[in-house]
Chains A and B, each alone.
Chain A
């Protein structure tokens, strides 16, 4: 295809690219893999085993073979390559638009480690003596995360960030119960801009949840905390910096107030990207904290799991840690399951070993100075992007520019002028090949959008992202219908999200889909 007549680059041997990419996502209309199954089709013709058949007892014999898709190798490969082309992720997009998700690059070399047979072929029931290497990785990663957080011990068993938060709530509950105060301390305090998993986990564990709303500076109202704490307080569960990217300068006072009332203070450090090597949970007096290894320590997010969470606790809480724990006697590593006060298992076995290995490799590659550089770069990137975003007419950052690693912005001015909403701007941005996210509900910041560049992205990436939003904001003014009709260059046009709220229709598995929709 030749350039249009009159285009300035028509004469160059290699045409320069336009300012914004002429992106178009692949659209394969790919059926679900089960729909492509054909009876008898195989990827590998396995030879007959050549050993005698063994009679299995009925208790372990399946009545029917599993209904797995039957496909050839090419078709399996093609299916997953197509799906990967219909995706937007860090490996092909500028993924700064999933603020609070903390999308950073996961170095490919770490994937080499976990696909090595030494890791990939481990069995969770192997005797300790045969898995000393992986136990050493668990033990060493625990010590490194303890150093990073200032905590006494860290459990790597939780398989996700929310599982780590739940582990922390379970330990809070067990701690108060051990002191005879379990019944009385039935309230957990959290904040509007802390991750909603804190409120959700506390509620799941049976606690009444009290939420502190932001004050005029965008930080949780400390006077509200003063009014909320009391003999019923089990814990404060708080994120800092919150989803706004604002670091609460009075966090130590928050912790002290809760301690005075006999409660525990639990720090959601899922995303510690602005803090690594700068400040630590223990330094502010926290009793518990957690990290998401996939947000801060560069393991894959894994689309809802298995990811990996790490729960850190002070010495007083250590007896309650999930188990078994990995222990080291100076020469040998072993598992300790004999811990009477433990809250028990958060999942089977040790944890999500591939992610533990990746996080260990990532920290080892960076070292202490490198971790601090990660934080400094993330904060610098965020402040550069904020500088660019705030030059766009109609965009604002409520509560000012004092931000660490992310910002919750507002399109209120643009929306009032054009009738175009933040969600619609995000969908249009996908036409240029980037992610965009608004906010958790309810929207405190009107017409919100949350950007978090992390340390992974270059200045050119951030310039491109800002240029996309500037372009879409301009489109909203010139032709709001264009933005509202988006996307045009995506795999699907619109999805109907209503089934997500309807147990009669949601289908997390093919089996459920078959039962609910095809029977």
Chain B
């Protein structure tokens, strides 16, 4: 499925002021500007994709690729990501003035920190001019000892961050055209506030006092990174792909306004859903586990080494096959009662045809003729669809029509919802 992703060799458009090399402050390298005596206990890394979002105002539905970025500039667009990052930094410093901010020279972060009145510590890294996704990935790799990584961009930037395998929790400052991934705060200011909240206890009780203390930061959740194929999006087709998950701060606005517990939104939900799936599993039936954090939890509960991004087959508590291709899956389904266990792509509602193309039309027809579908989503995720239906798009209208109607969505242990599912072609042409 990840083979569908666009060529990552896109490059950023030229950017005024980006010619300063790393160490433009005269302080070479990472620890050039040490924190206050005793070490600031909360360290945040900041990476800005300077051209994120540039295509949006220009009506280009995204900013991936140098050609699009040049076109956007030609249409009179000006980069906004740096400004939005500065808003986040300002909100962060207002709450935690002692936060150390490690970033990249020039428009990839330094400019935003300075604009927010902060003093950046610069990585020993010389981004290209214009900067590229490779620079983002390299910066992530260089930030091995921060408590939280803030990045400003969109879904494309989130993928680049994911490619760098960040070692700490990540939080996105929404600055792109496509912001469908679960790792973004709702606004730049909210990103700064959430970051400050996440580091609230850093440096207090339990802190080691080291410059990279991890003592006392908040709890985290897994959030899915999705991205759209922009060329398809420009031609009117929405086709988000699931690329993986990032750890994000679990903190949400929890003030005195609450009246009831938010158990449906609690981090335990994936486990509760997995328990219900396990309880519904019948002997002799093959279960096709689609990609995603929720289906992964099913595998974990069964004690099986299932994959996050691949399609796996389990039966009677055993892993029959992991990360199968469509052809292999067709063979595994043949002659067996089979049920597909699928999660919902956050924000979009795709159940079939995004991230799980291995469950192609032929496989789906066999599944619908025997065990059918088990769809998994938290109530929160269903609520986030805002009343829009779940979507199926295997590429074969005949197969998609088989699932059209209402489907049972497992939302917790002994809890489900009944939710509308439609072929995507109908939904987008209606």
Q: State how many angstroms separate the Cβ of A186 from the closest Cβ of chain B.
A: 9
Task: Please state if B264 and A427 are interface contacts (CB–CB under 8 Å).
Answer: no
In the complex, whether A224 has a CB less than 8 A from a CB of chain B is yes
Q: A227-B406, A437-B259, A481-B94 are in contact. Are A419 and B417 (CB under 8 A)?
A: no
In the complex, whether A211 has a CB less than 8 A from a CB of chain B is yes
Assembled-state Cα–Cα distance A207/B415 (Å): 9
In the complex, whether A442 has a CB less than 8 A from a CB of chain B is yes
**Contacts of A419 on B, CB cut-off 8 Å?**
91, 186-190, 193
**Contacts of A421 on B, CB cut-off 8 Å?**
186, 190, 253
In the complex, whether B119 has a CB less than 8 A from a CB of chain A is no
Task: Write the chain B residue with the least CB distance to A415.
Answer: B186
Task: Please state if B254 and A210 are interface contacts (CB–CB under 8 Å).
Answer: no
Task: Please state if B411 and A211 are interface contacts (CB–CB under 8 Å).
Answer: yes
Interface string of A221-251 (1 = CB under 8 A from B): 1011111100000000000000000000000
Task: Please state if A211 and B416 are interface contacts (CB–CB under 8 Å).
Answer: yes
Which of A224, A226, A442 has the most B CB atoms < 10 Å from its CB?
A442
Interface of B, secondary structure class, is mixed
Q: A214-B387, A441-B262 are in contact. Are A209 and B189 (CB under 8 A)?
A: no
Binds A, one of B298-306, B325-333, B377-385: B377-385
Interface string of B403-430 (1 = CB under 8 A from A): 0011010010011111110000000000
Task: Please state if A192 and B261 are interface contacts (CB–CB under 8 Å).
Answer: no
Binds B, one of A105-113, A495-503, A511-519: A495-503
Task: Please state if B264 and A227 are interface contacts (CB–CB under 8 Å).
Answer: no
**Contacts of A501 on B, CB cut-off 8 Å?**
261
**Contacts of A147 on B, CB cut-off 8 Å?**
none
Task: Please state if A213 and B406 are interface contacts (CB–CB under 8 Å).
Answer: no
**Contacts of A437 on B, CB cut-off 8 Å?**
257, 259
Choose one: A210, A215, A438; the contact of B257 (CB below 8 Å).
Answer: A438
**Contacts of A426 on B, CB cut-off 8 Å?**
255, 257
Task: Please state if A224 and B387 are interface contacts (CB–CB under 8 Å).
Answer: no
**Contacts of B383 on A, CB cut-off 8 Å?**
192, 213, 442-444
Choose one: B189, B258, B262, B420; the contact of A223 (CB below 8 Å).
Answer: B420
Choose one: A212, A214, A441; the contact of B260 (CB below 8 Å).
Answer: A441
Interface residues of B in 246-266 (CB under 8 A from A): 253-265
Q: State how many angstroms separate the Cβ of A87 from the closest Cβ of chain B.
A: 13
Assembled-state Cα–Cα distance A241/B94 (Å): 44
Give the interface size bracket for B toward A.
35 or more
Assembled-state Cα–Cα distance A210/B378 (Å): 13
Interface string of B82-126 (1 = CB under 8 A from A): 000000000100100000000000000000000000000000000
Task: Please state if B186 and A203 are interface contacts (CB–CB under 8 Å).
Answer: no
Task: Please state if B417 and A211 are interface contacts (CB–CB under 8 Å).
Answer: yes
Q: State how many angstroms separate the Cβ of A501 from the closest Cβ of chain B.
A: 7
**Contacts of A442 on B, CB cut-off 8 Å?**
262, 264-265, 378-380, 383
Q: State how many angstroms separate the Cβ of A52 from the closest Cβ of chain B.
A: 55
**Contacts of A498 on B, CB cut-off 8 Å?**
254
Choose one: A199, A224, A444, A480; the contact of B406 (CB below 8 Å).
Answer: A224
In the complex, whether A484 has a CB less than 8 A from a CB of chain B is yes
In the complex, whether A464 has a CB less than 8 A from a CB of chain B is no
**Contacts of B259 on A, CB cut-off 8 Å?**
437-438, 440
Interface string of A182-218 (1 = CB under 8 A from B): 0000000000100010010001000111111111100
Assembled-state Cα–Cα distance A100/B259 (Å): 11
Task: Please state if B419 and A500 are interface contacts (CB–CB under 8 Å).
Answer: no
Task: Please state if A211 and B415 are interface contacts (CB–CB under 8 Å).
Answer: yes
Q: A211-B411, A211-B416, A227-B405 are in contact. Are A441 and B264 (CB under 8 A)?
A: yes
Q: State how many angstroms separate the Cβ of B355 from the closest Cβ of chain A.
A: 23
Choose one: B188, B262, B387, B416; the contact of A208 (CB below 8 Å).
Answer: B416
Task: Please state if B415 and A216 are interface contacts (CB–CB under 8 Å).
Answer: no
**Contacts of B260 on A, CB cut-off 8 Å?**
196, 440-441
Task: Write the chain B residue with the least CB distance to A442.
Answer: B380
Q: A423-B255, A426-B255, A436-B257 are in contact. Are A210 and B416 (CB under 8 A)?
A: yes
Assembled-state Cα–Cα distance A231/B364 (Å): 27
Assembled-state Cα–Cα distance A216/B186 (Å): 24
Task: Please state if B417 and A423 are interface contacts (CB–CB under 8 Å).
Answer: no
**Contacts of B380 on A, CB cut-off 8 Å?**
441-442
Known: A210-B408, A441-B261, A480-B189. 13 other contacts (CB 8 A): A203-B415, A210-B415, A210-B417, A212-B417, A221-B406, A228-B406, A416-B187, A421-B253, A427-B255, A442-B262, A442-B378, A494-B256, A497-B258
Q: Which 8 A-B pairs have the closest CB atoms?
A: A419-B189, A227-B406, A441-B262, A419-B187, A442-B380, A224-B418, A444-B383, A228-B418
What are 9 residue pairs bridging A and B, where the CB atoms are less than 8 Å apart in the complex? A210-B418, A213-B417, A216-B387, A418-B187, A419-B91, A422-B257, A423-B255, A438-B258, A442-B264
Query: Which residues of A come within 8 Å of B, CB atoms?
Result: 192, 196, 199, 203, 207-216, 221, 223-228, 415-416, 418-419, 421-424, 426-427, 436-438, 440-444, 446, 480-481, 484, 494-495, 497-498, 500-501
